[in-house]
Amino acid sequence: MEEKIYSIDPVTEELARKAEKEGIETLWDRKKVMKTPCGFGEQGLCCRICAMGPCRISPTEGKGAQKGICGATADVIIARNLARMIAAGTATHSDHGRDIAHVLHMAKRDGNYKITDEKKLLNLAKEWEVEIENRDIYDIAHEVAEIALNEFGKPFGTLRFLERAPEQRKSVWEKNDIRTGAIDKEIATIMHSTHIGCCADAKDLVHKGMRASLADGWGGSMIGTEFSDILFGVPVPRETEANLGVLEEDQVNIIVHGHEPSLSEMMVLAAEDPELLQLAKEVGAKGINLSGMCCTANEVTMRHGVKIAGNLNQQELAVLTGAVEAIIVDVQCIFPALAPLTKCYHTKFITTSPKAKITGATHMEFEEEKALQSAKEIVREAVLNFKNRDTKKVFIPKTKSHAVVGYSVEAIKSQLDRVVNSQLDEGGTLKPLADCIASGVIRGAAGVVGCNNPKVKHDYGHVELMKELIKNDVIVVTTGCAAQAAAKAGLMSKEARKLAGKGLAKVCELVDIPPVLHMGSCVDISRILVLVSELAKLLKVDISDLPVVGAAPEWMSEKAIAIGTYVVTSGIDTWLGVVPPVTGSDIIVDILTNKAEDIVGAKFHVEPDPHKAAQQMIERIEEKREALGLAT
């Protein structure tokens, strides 16, 4: 077999070859044209914050410019750039959370958006001390939504969800002044402090970044997850399939791509509409086949079992199959390259969000007030496009993998109930998992998350890291494009137990779970925060004491930088497979990979080789076990 160049995934390789044959450019071609990345940018040594610059600092000490025109040092420039990346990532996840809170605020009994999980809503209402007795559930929902919306701009106080952390963690945040205030305020403060002539203290800028990052994980992202569950249902385990082989030759193929479930949930309903199904028959198709890409795929597969077409690096390849009638997008991780690419095929590229218009795409604004109607109009466009498919250009790869997805914290607890002795223990807790970790049957847990990045062979970082971890009895939880890599590689099937170490395989069998658990989209990393907080409380320790680690082997976005920072600030060591643009400053590198541990009990590690990273993560887990006096 030909050597795989771009990806460990055979489907990706096949379609990349089709692209070459047809003279179609993909991200890998553009990366080649880019040649060597700019050395200044790579190390973070470039500043273009004001018009006296741009300024770039020589990486060699004593040679060339050592300061910007304003006098900013390399440390300050890099710290400002890093803080801005964190602010951008936090803004992105949080604006998603805000949108979902608005949707809950407009939910009505006879509307398009309804409350699906009353229990989750009532629990949150109690947590936030909202009156629930003798009140209409929708009145409660609207009050809870309003409180959430106020989290973005409240003038006083700290974030409500920070209270979910164990007491020890809250003290760490308190002591170090990292308890986050209003979400928008933290983001605005960073934009202000990083303006020319404002904050010029590298250490303080990293500190500000850490505080803002909590507004992502424990703020906007957590609001996104909680409110999506209330509106669309708490995920439960479901069967699905993953990879571009989920496309159907004889059906209208629609791909939903992006992030917010408010659009994709309506698309799921619209694709089942009898009139549109009838229309599909009339145009010669056997049905409508909806599948997902990137985090939108995670949202709809977790709640409906909708099939996963692929992850970030496969978005162009989906169009290259020639079998996709429409690719419908909302926000984030959408390559602008889709616009010229779709012109080479019959595929309609439809943008729906006022926040993400793309030149060359067809914009059909998704109006939440008439959500289902908007979704039906979009599906109709796709169905009518079926007749334009050029069968000579069609190539749908055969490969797809089976996966079980949908492991919300609630779902994990109910799986664990299978091993609870109801005479002795009450169910509905993570205690069996804590017991397995304490006894050493499972050595620890790892969250493997994040994007794809053409700097890493596609999916290689994710899959190799996960395989190595489960082989060593470390249970893996995953979200985002990492989760899709795992699904495609078969790591989310129950048969994957045979790849796990003896202890983990036994637990998976007893509890009936795969060794790699799909916990959702990137905003759902907030589920992992809830999981580790509950585990820490059960073991009566801080999160940073747990034998738990995190990794983003193929990260690429500002969102990932924000996530990595809030995971570390929450007390979890995090491994990055791609070097962040900070290496031009010894001070920043030292804070991130060393001193952060003295402040928040965790730090970043950078290791591009997933096998080495796995070994380091396992060693760290064992160190934590030893410190806790857990079984060796």
Contact residues toward ligand SF4 (CB under 6 A) are 47-50, 52-55, 68-70, 72, 77, 196
Q: Are 65 and 58 in contact (CB under 8 A)?
A: yes
What's the closest the beta carbon of residue 68 comes to ligand SF4, in angstroms?
A: 2
What's the closest the beta carbon of residue 199 comes to ligand SF4, in angstroms?
A: 12
In the bound state with ligand SF4, the residue whose beta carbon lies nearer, of 198 and 627, is 198
Spatial separation of the C-alpha atoms in residues 107 and 105, rounded to whole Å: 6
Q: What is the 3-state secondary structure (H, E, C) of 315-363?
A: HHHHHHCCCCCEEEECCCCCCCCHHHHHHCCCCEEEECCCCCCCCCCEE
The region of 179-187, 432-440, 521-529, 607-615 touching Fe ion under the rule CB under 5 A is 521-529
Q: Find all residues with CB under 8 Å of 546, minimum gap 6, and list them.
A: 437, 444, 445, 532, 535, 536, 539, 571, 572, 624
What's the closest the beta carbon of residue 132 comes to Fe ion, in angstroms?
A: 33
H and E: helices and strands count for the chain: 26, 16
Spatial separation of the C-alpha atoms in residues 14 and 247, rounded to whole Å: 15
Strand, helix or coil for residue 268: helix
What's the closest the beta carbon of residue 315 comes to Fe ion, in angstroms?
A: 12
In the bound state with ligand SF4, the residue whose beta carbon lies nearer, of 63 and 109, is 63
Contact flag: residue 308 with Fe ion (CB under 5 A): no
Spatial separation of the C-alpha atoms in residues 501 and 492, rounded to whole Å: 15
Strand partners, 404: 239
What's the closest the beta carbon of residue 196 comes to Fe ion, in angstroms?
A: 32
Contact flag: residue 480 with Fe ion (CB under 5 A): yes
Helix ranges restricted to H, 417-501: 431-439, 460-471, 480-488
Contact flag: residue 293 with Fe ion (CB under 5 A): no
C-alpha 534, offset from chain centre = 21
Residue 522 interface partner, choices ligand SF4, Fe ion, none, CB cut-off 5-8 Å depending on type: Fe ion
What's the closest the beta carbon of residue 218 comes to ligand SF4, in angstroms?
A: 31
Q: Extract the tokens encoding 263.
A: 């659009």
Residue 52 interface partner, choices Fe ion, ligand SF4, none, CB cut-off 5-8 Å depending on type: ligand SF4
What's the closest the beta carbon of residue 525 comes to Fe ion, in angstroms?
A: 10
How many of the chain's residues bind Fe ion (CB under 5 A)?
Answer: 3
Residue 53 interface partner, choices Fe ion, ligand SF4, none, CB cut-off 5-8 Å depending on type: ligand SF4
In the bound state with Fe ion, the residue whose beta carbon lies nearer, of 296 and 374, is 296
Q: Find all residues with CB under 8 Å of 613, minimum gap 6, and list them.
A: 465, 551, 553, 575, 577, 605, 607
- Of 586, 588, 593, nearest to 568 (Cα)? 593
What's the closest the beta carbon of residue 450 comes to Fe ion, in angstroms?
A: 9
Q: How far is CA 471 from CA 187, 443, 461, in A?
A: 41, 11, 16
Spatial separation of the C-alpha atoms in residues 291 and 306, rounded to whole Å: 6
Residue 485 interface partner, choices ligand SF4, Fe ion, none, CB cut-off 5-8 Å depending on type: none
Q: How far is CA 265 from CA 220, 268, 297, 320, in A?
A: 20, 5, 11, 26
Contact flag: residue 295 with Fe ion (CB under 5 A): yes
Q: Extract the tokens encoding 186.
A: 């933290």
Among 47, 77, 430, 522, binds Fe ion (CB under 5 A): 522
The region of 170-178, 239-247, 288-296, 456-464 touching Fe ion under the rule CB under 5 A is 288-296
In the bound state with ligand SF4, the residue whose beta carbon lies nearer, of 55 and 430, is 55
Residue 295 interface partner, choices ligand SF4, Fe ion, none, CB cut-off 5-8 Å depending on type: Fe ion
In the bound state with ligand SF4, the residue whose beta carbon lies nearer, of 5 and 69, is 69
What's the closest the beta carbon of residue 80 comes to ligand SF4, in angstroms?
A: 8
In the bound state with ligand SF4, the residue whose beta carbon lies nearer, of 73 and 615, is 73
In the bound state with ligand SF4, the residue whose beta carbon lies nearer, of 195 and 286, is 195
CA dihedral 489, 492, 495, 498 (to 10 degrees): 80
Give the pairing type, strands 288-293 and 252-257. Answer: parallel
Residue 550 interface partner, choices Fe ion, ligand SF4, none, CB cut-off 5-8 Å depending on type: none
Residue 480 interface partner, choices Fe ion, ligand SF4, none, CB cut-off 5-8 Å depending on type: Fe ion
Contact flag: residue 504 with Fe ion (CB under 5 A): no
In the bound state with ligand SF4, the residue whose beta carbon lies nearer, of 88 and 420, is 88
Strand, helix or coil for residue 312: helix
What's the closest the beta carbon of residue 79 comes to ligand SF4, in angstroms?
A: 12
What's the closest the beta carbon of residue 556 comes to ligand SF4, in angstroms?
A: 24
Q: Which residues bind Fe ion (CB under 5 A)?
A: 295, 480, 522
